[in-house]
């Protein structure tokens, strides 16, 4: 059913009060294609929305918002060591993780509790606690918005990178992902090197993907603001990747900064560190601000607008550039 002038407040985790000229939530690929064909007939732009946890609306959407709602979850095949799981784009990401962990299929547990949908997960190659979905994606299916032609991309064709993929670069705004298939481990091994997972596991009776999931949910719940209570979209900026010379120059003045090796000759810097040292932690500007514990998270208070968040983010970018010579790129999709 097509809705007109539909309010998107509950469809974006910043909670911004914007509307879509048209809104449709099709629950089959055939219906998604019909919606896109109808948008072509009406000559209106198309915006694909998942859970709205990585978008920043700065204005009303003068077009159609298509929110794929295919919610099927299936096992495609199994071997002694692997299980192939396939999901519709509209499946809530954490429901998928919960289901896989309950069945002891390993690979997604470190990505527990990330908001959003399965269809959006490949777009920025979601990652957390030492895991990224690129490690387990088998294929991504979808179709091109312009021609309605279907595609199935293998993992390598998705061109995954740090918080990036072909869907966030060359094909940004040009496709709808309808299905994602994962190759998971039937004999899972746990990854506990990141964050405080090991600390949490010390008090647990077992070391399993189930306890890793519990650890991550517990850590994330304490660490990150709940969008239901305080509008946000998680990390607002990506961690910048800079040449070794820049990283070492910053380290001279700030010996405490952790440097993470990226591709050869490059280092990833923690954006949170740079933002905090530039004096932004906990700063409030009217109805928006920088979270008091997580400087990478920009928050929206009652009455805030997307434009206010953009303006704050630009101030932060300028000041980090002035102090460190590094430009922060937004991770969030600004519309």
Ligand X SMILES: Cc1cc2nc3c(=O)[nH]c(=O)nc-3n(C[C@H](O)[C@H](O)[C@H](O)COP(=O)(O)OP(=O)(O)OC[C@H]3O[C@@H](n4cnc5c(N)ncnc54)[C@H](O)[C@@H]3O)c2cc1C
In the residue annotation, 263 being an active-site residue is answered as: no
From residue 212 to residue 251, the character string flagging contacts with ligand X as x (rule: CB under 6 A) and all else as - is ------------x--x----xxx-----------------
Candidates 89, 209, 290, 320: give the one binding ligand X (CB under 6 A). Answer: 89
Please state the closest distance from residue 231 (CB atom) to ligand X, in A: 9
Query: In whole angstroms, what is the distance from residue 268 CA to residue 305 CA?
Result: 31
Buried b (16+ CB within 10 A) or exposed e, 308-329: bbbebbeebbebbeeebebebe
Are 266 and 242 contacting, i.e. CB atoms less than 8 angstroms apart?
Answer: yes
Query: In whole angstroms, what is the distance from residue 14 CA to residue 310 CA?
Result: 12
With contacts defined by CB under 6 A, name the span among 22-30, 97-105, 110-118, 300-308 that binds ligand X: 110-118
Among positive and negative, which fits the CA dihedral 160, 161, 163, 166?
negative
Say whether residue 120 binds ligand X (CB under 6 A). Answer: yes
Please state the closest distance from residue 200 (CB atom) to ligand X, in A: 17
One DSSP character per residue, 99-162 reads HHHHTT-BSSGGGTT--SBTTTTTTTT-EETTEEGGGTEEEEEEEETTT--EEEEETGGGT-BT
Please state the closest distance from residue 177 (CB atom) to ligand X, in A: 4
CA–CA distances in Å: residue 295 to residues 236, 289, 316: 9, 9, 10
Q: How many residues bind ligand X (CB under 6 A)?
A: 33
Catalytic residue among 163, 179, 211, 313: 163
Say whether residue 124 binds ligand X (CB under 6 A). Answer: yes
In the residue annotation, 235 being an active-site residue is answered as: yes
Direct distance between the N- and C-terminal alpha carbons of the chain, in angstroms, rounded to an integer: 24
In the residue annotation, 41 being an active-site residue is answered as: no
Say whether residue 68 binds ligand X (CB under 6 A). Answer: yes
Say whether residue 61 binds ligand X (CB under 6 A). Answer: no
| Catalytic residue ranges | 163, 235, 331
Residue ranges in contact with ligand X by CB under 6 A:
13, 48-55, 68, 89, 114-117, 119-121, 123-124, 126-128, 167, 175-177, 224, 227, 232-234, 333
């Amino acid at each position: 059913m097509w809705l007109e002038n539909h309010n998107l407040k509950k469809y974006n985790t910043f909670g911004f009060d914007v509307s879509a000229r048209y809104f449709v939530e099709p629950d089959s690929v055939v219906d998604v294609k019909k919606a896109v064909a109808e948008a072509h007939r009406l000559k209106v732009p198309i915006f694909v929305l998942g859970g709205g946890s990585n978008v920043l609306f700065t204005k009303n959407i003068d077009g159609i918002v298509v929110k794929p709602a295919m919610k099927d979850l299936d096992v495609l095949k199994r071997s002694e060591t692997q299980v192939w799981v396939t999901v519709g784009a509209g499946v809530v990401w954490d429901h998928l993780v919960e289901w896989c962990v309950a069945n002891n299929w390993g690979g997604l547990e470190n990505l527990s509790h990330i908001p959003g949908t399965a269809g959006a997960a490949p777009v920025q190659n979601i990652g957390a606690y030492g895991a990224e979905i690129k490690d387990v994606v088998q294929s991504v299916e979808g179709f091109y918005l312009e021609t309605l032609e279907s595609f199935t991309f293998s993992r390598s064709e998705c061109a995954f990178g740090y918080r990036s993929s072909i869907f966030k670069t060359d094909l940004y705004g040009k496709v709808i992902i309808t299905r994602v298939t994962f190759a998971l481990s039937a004999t899972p091994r746990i990854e506990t090197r990141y964050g405080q997972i090991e600390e949490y596991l010390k008090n647990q009776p077992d070391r399993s993907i189930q306890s890793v999931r519990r650890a991550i949910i517990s850590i994330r719940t304490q660490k990150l603001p709940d969008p239901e209570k305080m509008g946000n979209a998680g990390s607002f900026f990506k961690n910048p990747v800079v040449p070794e010379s820049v990283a070492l120059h910053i380290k001279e003045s700030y010996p405490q900064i952790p440097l993470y090796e990226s591709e050869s000759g490059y280092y990833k810097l923690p954006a949170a560190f740079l933002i905090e040292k530039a004096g932004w932690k906990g700063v409030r500007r009217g109805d928006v601000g920088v979270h008091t514990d997580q400087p990478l998270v920009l928050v929206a208070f009652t009455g805030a607008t997307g434009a206010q968040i953009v303006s704050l983010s630009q101030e932060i970018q300028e000041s980090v550039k002035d102090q460190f010579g590094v430009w922060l790129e937004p991770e969030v999709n600004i519309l």
